[in-house]
Amino acid sequence: MQSIAIINLVLLAGSALLAIGILSSLVAQRFGAPLLLVFLLIGVFIGEDGPGGVHFNDYRTTYLIGSFALAVILFDGGLRTRLSTFRGVLAPSILLATLGVIITALVVSALVMPLLGMTFSQALLVGAMVAPTDAAAVFFLLRAGGLQLQRHVGSTLEIESGTNDPVAVLLTIVLVEVLLSGARTPVVELIAMMVQHGVLGAIGGAVGGFVIVWVLNRVELPTGLHPIFSIAVAVVTFAATQVLHGSGFLAVYVAGLIVGNRRVRAFASIISFHDAATWLVQILMFIVLGLLVTPSRLVDAIIPGLAVSFFLMFVARPVAVFLCLGPYKFAVNERIFVSWVGLRGAVSIFLAAIPTLAGLPNGEIYFNIAFITVVVSLVVQGWTLTPLARRLGLALPQARRDVSRVEIDLPGQQEHEMVGYHIAEGSAVLEPGASPRWARPVFVVREDRILEPAMAGPLQPGDYGYFLAPPERVRELDRLFTPGERDTGEHSNFPLRAGVQLSVLSDLYGLDVDSELGERTVADHFAEELENEPTPGDRLSLGMATLVVHTVRDGRVAEAELEIGDRAGDSDIKPDSLDLALSALARRFRVLERRIFNRR
């Protein structure tokens, strides 16, 4: 009976910790605190030196939980990444994820050798553990606080953080083996092993991804099992690739990319399930990692840990970024920002557990240094990421406020899914003829009654409308149901063809447009600057005006609007539409005059 009581107490403590972690995440989001830091501190709080007094030093269990959690997180990261984001940034991202990790580790080792009196291999091991950026932290913080980055900057960071783990893991494991055996591994052999892990990881991920797609689309699974099956096969892909001496971390990311970029049955339920699953494994992993830390034993490591942290932030990471991005068209402010978003997280602490698990002498010093580095990185870099993006001019205007959408998969077909929206006051869908023809109304819920579209008539504020729509076009509906999208009369919108050049807009409307961008068309400008494929309602600043996407065809902007007025800038002057139209007409005549004169 005593054993049963202990089990019940464990269940009580575990469920309470989960609830505390979830509530803490809400507080963290409100104050902009990185979630990883919050969960780590909860683990420390209930640990050996905290009020909880729980003694936990099981590195084997930690490694198991960390491997499973990272597999799920990386699969989810690939699942949400559109292949279109790879355009133009694949080469610099992969270079950062491979050569960048090695350069960072080497630069850090140059400090660690004299600082801690370590050999080159030992110091390089410290560098390898803190070199990778954390995908979970980067994915979360880039989407937190409403931050939207320019496309090539945001895509570079996400691809790098999702693919740099394999190099760091391999480098760490090889160095641990070298230190345990006392042998020396030739550089050529080390590079060959990394290539092998990368190639096998990519192949394993491709096989796993296509297996998931094939089964989901061909096999009639019971309702609710599609997302569980996708996670199960993702973890199988990870483990099988690791057994074959490939990179399981790269494999699950590639598998997620394949599943997320192909038409898959029950995709809406898979995404919804992954929202909960990734939160759960993050909370579990971060709390367990926090439990491993004993603050009283960190005292001797605080000074060297802080030195490594700030050296990594201000020297090692910037050196790697500037060297790797040198051959590519990244401005100085963009390189500075990429350097600063080198967030360390669970991956570094996870790798720091390997030396102790392998029985390496003085393994605790590696763990303590990595833990301090992660905490400092999340506090300093995590809290300053959004302000720095705005200060460097890399944050884009918000496309729209979030809209609440319910997605329902229709069994037996993939062409349509059902989506439901709450009709709020001020939604554009309330305008006559606003609903697109490809969105077929199914029913309307009004005052607790379910009405057919013909009986319901025009939509009214407070209704809940349900529509059949192609999955790839669902995002286009969001703008129609977003409150505040209707014209308030406080600004003027001028329709544009997507093929018009920015230099022409500059001449016609007196906008301050960079001369280097003058030859771009409106469609090209959205394609280059937005992180993802454009959707109706996406916005980009253009001088004192704002470009707004109106229509998208085949992934490119077909029609847009130039918005001038209160919403386009911060000016207190509110010109009326007639003044703006007359000014624009006068500019057109001046442009026409210059063109005629030049021809003569």
Q: From CA 553, how far away is CA 564, in angstroms rounded?
A: 25
Q: From CA 366, how far away is CA 283, in angstroms rounded?
A: 23
Joined tokens for residue 96: 């950062």
The arithmetic mean of pLDDT across residues 186-206, rounded, is 81
Per-residue pLDDT of 222-272, as tens digits, reads 877 888 999 999 999 999 998 998 888 889 989 999 998 888 877 877 887
Kindly report which listed range (1-5, 336-340, 579-583) carries the lowest average pLDDT score.
Answer: 579-583
Percent of the chain with pLDDT over 90: 16
pLDDT(394) > 80: no
Using pLDDT thresholds of 50, 70 and 90, give the confidence band for residue 599.
Answer: very low
Joined tokens for residue 423: 């009709």
Q: Given this model, what pLDDT does residue 220 score?
A: 81
Helix (H) or strand (E) holding 396: none
Q: Given this model, what pLDDT does residue 348 score?
A: 86
Using pLDDT thresholds of 50, 70 and 90, give the confidence band for residue 577.
Answer: very low
- Give the position of tokens 């037996």: 412
pLDDT(312) > 90: yes
Write down the pTM of the prediction.
Answer: 0.70
Using pLDDT thresholds of 50, 70 and 90, give the confidence band for residue 414.
Answer: low
3-17, 18-32, 66-80, 106-120 — which one is most confidently predicted on average?
106-120
Residues 116/123, Cβ–Cβ less than 8 Å: yes
Buried b / exposed e across 532-557, counting CB within 10 Å, b at 16+?
bbbbbbbbbebbbbbbbbbebeeeeb
Q: How many residues does the chain have?
A: 600
Distance spanning both ends of the chain, measured CA to CA: 101
Residues 545/536, Cβ–Cβ less than 8 Å: no
The arithmetic mean of pLDDT across residues 271-277, rounded, is 82
Using pLDDT thresholds of 50, 70 and 90, give the confidence band for residue 21.
Answer: low
Residues sharing a CB contact under 8 Å with residue 373, sequence separation 6 or more, in sequence order? 130, 305, 308, 309, 312, 344, 348
Q: Given this model, what pLDDT does residue 533 score?
A: 67
Q: Given this model, what pLDDT does residue 146 score?
A: 54
Using pLDDT thresholds of 50, 70 and 90, give the confidence band for residue 571.
Answer: very low
Per-residue pLDDT of 171-182, as tens digits, reads 888 888 788 877
pLDDT(392) > 70: yes
Residues sharing a CB contact under 8 Å with residue 219, sequence separation 6 or more, in sequence order? none
Kindly report which listed range (24-38, 92-106, 322-336) carries the lowest average pLDDT score.
Answer: 24-38
Q: From CA 60, how far away is CA 146, in angstroms rounded?
A: 38
DSSP state of 117: T
Residues sharing a CB contact under 8 Å with residue 491, sequence separation 6 or more, in sequence order? 563, 564, 565, 566, 567, 568
The arithmetic mean of pLDDT across residues 490-512, rounded, is 71
Which amino acid is it at 587?
Answer: R
Using pLDDT thresholds of 50, 70 and 90, give the confidence band for residue 566.
Answer: very low
pLDDT(398) > 60: no
DSSP state of 359: T
pLDDT(590) > 90: no
Please report which residue ranges of 300-362 form alpha helices under DSSP H. Answer: 302-311, 317-325, 332-340, 346-357
Number of other CB atoms surrounding residue 275 within 10 Å: 12
- Which residue has better confidence, 462 or 87? 462
The arithmetic mean of pLDDT across residues 549-569, rounded, is 70
Kindly report which listed range (306-310, 329-333, 472-476) carries the lowest average pLDDT score.
Answer: 472-476
Per-residue pLDDT of 421-462, as tens digits, reads 888 887 777 877 667 777 888 889 988 888 888 888 888 888
Joined tokens for residue 473: 């076009």
Joined tokens for residue 44: 């420390």
Residues 97/277, Cβ–Cβ less than 8 Å: no
Q: Given this model, what pLDDT does residue 437 score?
A: 77
Residues 196/241, Cβ–Cβ less than 8 Å: no
Q: Given this model, what pLDDT does residue 26 score?
A: 61
Q: Given this model, what pLDDT does residue 345 score?
A: 78
Percent of the chain with pLDDT over 70: 77
The arithmetic mean of pLDDT across residues 329-339, rounded, is 88
Using pLDDT thresholds of 50, 70 and 90, give the confidence band for residue 600.
Answer: very low
Q: Mind listing the domains of the chain with CATH numbers?
A: 55-273+301-391 (1.20.1530.20), 405-481 (3.30.70.1450), 491-599 (3.30.465.10)
Residues 325/400, Cβ–Cβ less than 8 Å: no
Using pLDDT thresholds of 50, 70 and 90, give the confidence band for residue 107.
Answer: very high
Q: From CA 354, how far away is CA 247, in angstroms rounded?
A: 16
Residue 518 burial (CB < 10 Å; 0-12/13-18/19+)?
middle
Q: Given this model, what pLDDT does residue 137 score?
A: 67
Q: Given this model, what pLDDT does residue 324 score?
A: 93
Residue 125 burial (CB < 10 Å; 0-12/13-18/19+)?
buried
Axis-axis angle for helices 90-116, 317-325 (nearest 10)? 150
The arithmetic mean of pLDDT across residues 98-110, rounded, is 94
pLDDT(363) > 50: yes
Q: Given this model, what pLDDT does residue 568 score?
A: 41
Using pLDDT thresholds of 50, 70 and 90, give the confidence band for residue 596.
Answer: very low
